[in-house]
Amino acid sequence: AALAVEHGVDGLFVSNHGGRAENSRRATITSLPDVVAGVAGRIPIICDGGFRRGTDVFKAIALGATAAGIGRPYIWGLGAFGQE
């Protein structure tokens, strides 16, 4: 993360995009504190992956993410009940 900032990155996504399907990979939320430390508040961090409920979003924000992405819960809602 620090190297990315040094090379002019404007923001970072912390995401494993399905990496947890294979049990030996780190969860996104586990990686987040290391990325936050490397960025040191210089750029925004969006955390994505594994969020199932609102408390997961609060945890990511508490750990230093600027925002959190929630793809699956949104898709589940559309799949279950359709668009209003």
Q: Catalytic one among 6, 9, 11, 17? A: 17
**7 labelled catalytic:** no
Alpha-helical segments (H) within 1-84:
2-6, 28-39, 54-62, 72-81
Q: Which amino acid is at 70?
A: I
Give dist(CA 19, CA 16) in Å, integer: 5
Residues acting as catalytic residues: 17
